[in-house]
Structure 1
Amino acid sequence: MHNHEKPLTSAEISTLWANYLGDSMSICVFKYFLTHLEDAEIKKVVDYAIDLSQQHVKTIEDIFKQEGIAVPKAFGEEDVHTDAKRLFSDTFYLKYVKNMAKGGLANYASALPNLVRQDIRSYIGKSIDSTKELYNIATDLLLTKGFEIRPPSIPYPKEVSFVKDQHFLAGWMGEQRTLTGTEITQLYANIETNRLGLSLIIGFSQVAKDATIRKYMMRGKKMAKKHIDIFSSFLQKHDIPFSTSGQNEVTDSTEAPFSDKLIMYHVGLLSAAGMGNYGVAMALSPRRDIAMYLGRLLMEVGLFSEDGMNITIRNGWMEYPPSAIDRNNLARRP
């Protein structure tokens, strides 16, 4: 599989390094899920998900060892307590797998165009295929069980028409045009990802051991609710009917299934994904008011993420990512 004609590029090393951390975390999370899963069909999906993550970790570990690259410490047995009480419902587990597969597809797709070496492109290509399969399996099962929430519908266009004036871009004053299908899609997608993140962060706020981290989770809970309300208001203002998952997916357990280190890393992943989603939505939303709100909310998530990284750094949990040579530091040596 390995090609030693050329060393790995910065893009290839960084992609594999980030994937290793993410998949090692997923293995811990899925191990805990499997301890409590009662639904046999959902259990098969989580079994498939953990198998994929284990394959990814093994492949990346082999590549790093072959290339003489330090394998990250990442996450392991010390970061998961499978004997902890149930924290989430079986339905949440299935929704979680689907959302993580969705995020994985986005990450792999953004990484692939920057990869050069054939073996790394092959690995990422296979990861896209298997993650797509996981996404489809999870979505199909959600549909079968009646838990999948469909995005809002719009009428089929019956004729071709063109934008006639700048009002199409307006949004501040006066009567606003209705939302485009793309704007509805982005608003609704961000409602749903925030809802899943809200359930996760509520659970984390109950079980985190450090009081500072519990307070940080409560801040994230408040922020997620605010963002859901803002995105929902755009749909409601234009009388666009939409459904959301409203069932209680978090138990009252206060017994920690994960280390505080894993909890902080996971919330950091959610924040990064949220900022990416908001950036895409901004680019696809011509209406100025929508873009303005997205920009403000993106900055709010960015500040939240930075504060989370500061907590992680203070606790000595953040591994230094692969980086360029600091030549100024070399020049200052004694």
Structure 2
Amino acid sequence: MSEQTGHNHFSNLTANEVSNLWSSYLKNSMEQRLFEYFYESCEDEQIKAMAKKILDHAKLSLEELAVIFNKDNLTTPHAFTEQDVTPDAHKVFSDTFILYFCHDITMLSLSTYPSALSDCSRPDVRDFFQKRIEMSMSMQNDVINLMLEKGVYLKPAQLEMENEVDFVQSKKYLSGFFTGSRPVNALEIANLTRILHRAQFSKMVFVTLHKLANKVELKEHFSQGRNGIESVLESLSEVLEKENIPLSASSDFKISPVEMSPFSDKLMLFFVNTCLGMFCFQMVAQALNSTLRSDIVMKLTKISTKMRKYYSEGLVIAIKEGWFEQPPNPVDHKV
């Protein structure tokens, strides 16, 4: 290896790399604490094994991240500790609900790691995110196969599609609210279904976290989140119902009476801000970028505005409680 090549390999981290590594550490720390409890409380052996796989992957990721942080003299995030989880707490979530959590975490990973990989240039950092993508793909395959086997996978609508190539002849194709609407196309159905399925899961997460939270302010915040998700379900379901497009739904987002919360308020709020918040923003943004009917665009824009306000309030709570860990700052070079 030439001196120049060696220098490139161990060059200083870019701001993008620091940001991605920092976010990945917090994400994996959260997953470790969540799945320590899910693994201990799960009774179904197949789902328990899946929870263990995600738990082990989170621990391995944290170990590899710590090596990079130490090598580059970066302060390792405090993130989440044993104080944020009680693994032997009373069982709250049904095993199927835990399986939906497994699915949600793998989806989050596959939406964040690829963008992190494309944003990085240093070989060891790229190698880290490349491995995370490969592991996440493998776990998602396992999770979906298990959901299909147990009959709980929420399939999008299966429709008979036209098999002729056609081109739009009029700008009326973009209308929908004022001048009557054309039928929704396959891309719009896919995006709306994806958001609605996520909203069903998110709604029950909010219901559960409202029961688990200790602080009154946080209970109210999670209750508001539940109400916001309910309005999303009503608004977007209306589009599909008008055209008799079926939407599958789970009946097994079951929770047991709460004796003691297995998670700290800090951990639950971070999950809401990160998994439910950031992931939902991505889904809505994707739908907005590919939707052509004006009435759907208006609905999605309204949803996005309300979401932004809600999750901003969540960040304010985290800061007020001293839970928001400040990302690394560059050295101040101002004179």
What band does the TM-score fall into relative to the shorter chain?
over 0.9
Residue 147 of structure 1 aligns with which residue? 152
Residue 17 of structure 2 aligns with which residue? 12
Residue 83 of structure 1, CA deviation: 2.2
Question: 1: distance between equivalents of 2:153 and 2:102?
Answer: 13
**Is structure 2 residue 305 aligned with structure 1 residue 305?**
no
Residue 40 of structure 1, CA deviation: 0.4
Give the alignment of 1:93-172 within 5 angstroms: 93-172=98-177
Residue 2 of structure 1, CA deviation: 11
**Is structure 2 residue 211 aligned with structure 1 residue 206?**
yes
In 1, are the aligned partners of 2:96 and 2:252 still within 8 Å (CA)? no
TM-score, normalised on structure 2? 0.95
Q: Could you tell which deviates more after superposition, 184-193 or 244-253?
A: 244-253
**Is structure 2 residue 285 aligned with structure 1 residue 290?**
no
**Is structure 2 residue 282 aligned with structure 1 residue 271?**
no
Question: 1: distance between equivalents of 2:228 and 2:220?
Answer: 13
- Shift in alpha-carbon separation, 1:178–1:326, aligned structure 2, 3 A: farther
Residues 142-200 of structure 1 show CA distances to partners (whole Å, capped at 9, x for unaligned) of 00011112101122332211111111111122321111111111101111111111111
TM-score, normalised on structure 1? 0.95
Q: Percent identity?
A: 29
Structure 1 unaligned blocks of 5 or more? none
In 1, are the aligned partners of 2:33 and 2:85 still within 8 Å (CA)? yes
**Is structure 2 residue 122 aligned with structure 1 residue 85?**
no
- Shift in alpha-carbon separation, 1:297–1:139, aligned structure 2, 3 A: same
Residue 323 of structure 1, CA deviation: 3.5
* Secondary structure class of the residue paired with 2:199: helix
**Runs of 4+ residues over 6 Å off in structure 1:** none
Question: 2: distance between equivalents of 1:223 and 1:159?
Answer: 40
**Is structure 2 residue 67 aligned with structure 1 residue 57?**
no
Residue 4 of structure 1, CA deviation: 4.8
Residue 247 of structure 1, CA deviation: 2.9
AA matched with 2:279: A
- Shift in alpha-carbon separation, 1:131–1:170, aligned structure 2, 3 A: same
Question: 2: distance between equivalents of 1:142 and 1:2?
Answer: 47
Question: Which one of 9, 29, 37 corresponds to residue 32 of structure 1?
Answer: 37
Residue 249 of structure 1 aligns with which residue? 254
AA matched with 2:298: M
AA matched with 1:167: K
* Secondary structure class of the residue paired with 1:82: coil
- Shift in alpha-carbon separation, 1:223–1:122, aligned structure 2, 3 A: same
Question: 1: distance between equivalents of 2:127 and 2:220?
Answer: 43
- CA RMSD, 1 decimal: 1.6
Question: 2: distance between equivalents of 1:4 and 1:78?
Answer: 37
Residue 252 of structure 1, CA deviation: 2.1
* Secondary structure class of the residue paired with 2:157: coil
Question: 1: distance between equivalents of 2:93 and 2:189?
Answer: 29
Structure 2 unaligned blocks of 5 or more? 1-5
Question: 2: distance between equivalents of 1:173 and 1:157?
Answer: 27
Question: 1: distance between equivalents of 2:7 and 2:280?
Answer: 34
In 2, are the aligned partners of 1:3 and 1:119 still within 8 Å (CA)? no
* Secondary structure class of the residue paired with 1:220: helix
Residue 267 of structure 2 aligns with which residue? 262
